[in-house]
Amino acid sequence: MPHYCTPWTAAFALAFAAGAGATLCYLYLTTTKRVNNEIRSGVLDLIGNTPLIRIASLSEETGCEILAKAEMLNPGGSVKDRVALQIVTEALREGRLRPGAIITEGTAGSTGVSLAMVAAALGCSCAITMPDDAAVEKANMIQAYGATVERVRPVSIVHPDHPVNVARRKATETPGALFADQFENEANYRAHLQTGEEIWRQTRGSVHAFVSGAGTGGTIAGVSRSLKARNPRVRVFLIDPPGSSLFNKVKRGVMYTFEEAEGKRLRNPFDTITEGIGINRLTANFGKALVDDAFRGTDREAVEMAQYLLRNEGLWVGSSAAMNCVGAVKAARVLGPGHVVVTLLCDGGHRHLSKFHNPQYLAQMGLAARSQGRGLGFVE
């Protein structure tokens, strides 16, 4: 079994191989050994190589092996640790960021937590802008790492006060600052070439399908390219929440959603309680994705799945992870019994206590969980 390099050496390898394509990256990543497998070089060396776990209840109910990358076990608590490390290390190496400078970003929260952690580890400062309707736990975590948080009202990306545009302005107005730009910065998807390699290694090449939601699009792009480079027959499915246009982009080639119709949009930016996935524009990262098909998911399905995983597995996950598991069940039904379906547990439930895991909030939204037992009838 091959040894894997640290995320630090992986980041340098990806950049070194940029001109030669992903194949050289894969060769480097799968042949470089750790200097010491027992001692890690600080918190950043804990990022990646997360366990792949079998979700027994979903597997037994669908007849497929449903496996999930436990990305909430990254040190910053989410899949976004990989992206933050990749963005910052590439910028440092290329001279676009210098030690002690400030990193800015607009985010719903998880990328902000990860960037704040990476910045603290590398002696940089960090300023995060996030919508004021995102879970407050994320803002508190960002501040705990020493970063600043500005919360703004949720508006369209074309509005100058969208979190991304505010963060971009801050970087422009601050000498030496780096705007992380997770949506358009392709370091995002490059980080997940390694995620795909890990999945291939952990399944010993037996994976039949990968399922993921998309916000920036980096995860599904990197993993899909990595897996399909190994086996073009691996199916890649998008699971898309309410209010997002990506479902129609995959199915019909058009970025459109019913909620975008005049008079139909109920909330900005999306009519959903699911945070971290769903978008109404085509990002550079999603443009790299190799997606075969797409499913729609609902808030009801995500809430019920989160409670299902708690009840049957003791797994406490966030809203996007719950939606991913909904997608995994839908993929299993399409493929039929006997297949291996892999998805991601993007983050844990602890950063969603004020909303997605708040019974009072869910009741107010008409989404209080109702299902019991191990049946999957709540997945449409």
Residue 346 DSSP code: -
Q: How far apart are CA 14 and CA 9, in angstroms?
A: 9
Question: Which tokens go with 65?
Answer: 């092996």
5 φ/ψ angles, rounded to the nearest 5 degrees: -80, 165
235 φ/ψ angles, rounded to the nearest 5 degrees: -85, 140
Contact residues for 145 (Cβ-Cβ < 8 A; gap 6+): 113, 116, 117, 119, 120, 126
Listing DSSP states for 231-300 in one string gives -TT-EEEEEE-TT-SHHHHHHHS----GGGSTTT--SSS-SSS--S---SS--TTGGG----EEEE--HH
3-state secondary structure 288-316: HCCCCEEEECCHHHHHHHHHHHHHHHCCC
Cα angle 87-270-154, degrees, rounded to a multiple of 5: 70
Output 252-259 pairs: Cβ under 8 A, ≥24 positions apart: 255/280, 255/281, 255/282
Output 251-259 pairs: Cβ under 8 A, ≥24 positions apart: 251/293, 251/294, 255/280, 255/281, 255/282
Which residue do the tokens 């580890």 mark? 121
282 φ/ψ angles, rounded to the nearest 5 degrees: -90, 115
Burial class of residue 160, CB neighbours in 10 A (0-12, 13-18, 19+): exposed
**How many Cβ atoms are within 10 Å of 203's Cβ, its own excluded?**
16
Q: How far apart are CA 240 and CA 108, in angstroms?
A: 17
Q: How far apart are CA 173 and CA 160, in angstroms?
A: 15
Q: Which of 33, 69, 80, 170 is catalytic?
A: 80
264 flagged as catalytic: no
Q: Which are the catalytic amino acids?
A: 80
